[in-house]
Amino acid sequence: MLVSHELTPKRVHAWVAAHGYPAYRATQILSWAYRRRAASFAAMSDLPHALRDALAADFTLPGLTPTVVAHARDDTRKLLFRLDDQAAIEAVLIPDPPRLTLCISSQAGCGMGCRFCATARLGLLRNLTPVEIVGQVLAAQDQLRPDERISNIVFMGMGEPLANYDAVVQAIEILTADWGLAISARRITVSTVGLVPAMEKLVRETSVNLAVSLSGTTDGERVRLMPINRRYPLEQLLGMCRALPIPQRRRITFEYVMLAGVNDSLDDAVRLARLLHGIRSKVNLIPFNPFPGAGFVGSPPETIVRFQQRLLEAGINATIRRSRGRDIQAACGQLALAGAPAAHEPAASRDLQLSQL
């Protein structure tokens, strides 16, 4: 499997030491691979020839090639990748001038089972490796027009990033390093269903932003939507958020998918405000993006606005997420079409949807 040939900082440093080269060679190699995007090891012109040959024998250069790039009417672009073992993942480029956000996947499929999410229907196929995560960013950069530059990266694609913790943290290291993509950690957001111990670790070990998918205001309500709430109920989750050492001027984002008649009452808004009391937070209300067989209906726009209004009155910073890329199934919770078929979905209908891209 290619994984053992991956050019991660950990492996390169260990390899360089084991081969008797000075440590600075590792940084040089990583910089050629990630910052300068060398096309081959042979092209790493300031390395000794013997070192270049040895590297070529033991490593592969990072990079993923999208199999399809779908373009939405609103200029959102979805990149589909088929990995070596045929697992499929997606990344989405979302222009919102002056920002250009890239939404990336951390797993093929997802094991969290959120009822309103299409990716959950796939189940967990496998974790992505650090270089597969970074490879999505490199591939997206290759798609940019000359005047474009990725300004923000969000781990909000397929998968639960904190269930693939080590790979995600290694990917963040490559994305933020000077020898790597040199993207500021302040412009990277990791979104989680609320894996409490890993959230604490992430805040300690990196300085990326944290987003928590909440979508319910009582344990009973949330557990029906997000089974993870059985393991980490609201009190534990929000208690941890309250205790996290979030730097000044930063906030935890709470995502809340608006489902008609399920979690969108004004009582919910009042409870949500109470739950978030004392946490430096902002709420992002997400209009539900439908997918075949979802079994939920999105809250009407006026309900979402009223809900937001109630939060604002309670002193909670709240915004409504504008849905992007719906016509290419690239919106929140719709990433799944390139993956394995959902149990109830025949392969033929999946192919049809793919060819419609």
Rounded to 5°, the CA angle 204-321-141 comes to 65
Least spacing, CB of residue 321 vs ligand SAH, in Å: 8
Instruction: Find the shortest distance in angstroms from Cβ 293 to ligand SAH.
Output: 11
Q: Which among 219, 248, 245 is positioned nearest to 234, based on CA atoms?
A: 219
Cβ–Cβ < 8 Å for 7, 30:
yes
The b/e string for 120-159 (b: 16+ C-beta within 10 A; e otherwise) is: bbbbbbebbbbbbbbbbbbbbeeeeeeeeebbbbbbbbbb
The DSSP call for residue 129 is P
* Least Cβ distance, residue 190 to ligand SAH (angstroms): 8
Q: Which of 6, 90, 221, 345 is catalytic?
A: 90
Please identify, using beta-carbon distances, which residue of 114 and 330 lies nearer to ligand SAH: 114
b/e sequence 222-249, b meaning 16+ C-beta within 10 Å: bbebbbbbeebbbeebbebbeebebeee
Which CB, 192 or 281, lies closer to ligand SAH?
Answer: 192
Which residue, 9 or 130, has its beta carbon nearer to ligand SAH? 130
- For tokens 């943290």, the residue is 169
Q: Are 154 and 137 in contact (CB under 8 A)?
A: no
Cβ 107 to ligand SAH shortest distance, Å: 9
State which residue, 7 or 257, has the beta carbon closest to ligand SAH: 257
| Residues binding ligand SAH (CB under 6 A) | 112, 114, 116-117, 156, 160, 191-193, 213, 215, 255, 257, 286, 288-289, 332-333
Nearest to ligand SAH of 77, 121 (CB atom): 121
Using CA atoms in the order 174, 134, 44, 39, what is the torsion angle rounded to 10 degrees? Answer: -170
Query: Is 173 part of the annotated catalytic residue set?
Result: no
Which residue of the chain is nearest ligand SAH when measured via CB?
A: 333
Q: What's the farthest any 2 CA atoms get from each other in the chain?
A: 69
Q: Which of 277, 21, 231 is nearest to 111 (CA)?
A: 231
Give the nearer residue to ligand SAH in terms of CB position, either 8 or 263. Answer: 263
Would you call 302 a catalytic residue per the annotation?
no
Ramachandran bin of 204, using left for φ above 0, alpha for ψ from -120 to 50, beta for the remaining angles: alpha
Token representation of residue 109 = 């499929």
Nearest approach, Cβ of residue 256 and ligand SAH (Å) = 8
Tokens for 193? Answer: 């269903």
Shortest CB 39 distance to ligand SAH, Å: 33
Q: Which of 103, 117, 241, 332 is catalytic?
A: 332
Supply the residues annotated as catalytic. Answer: 90, 332
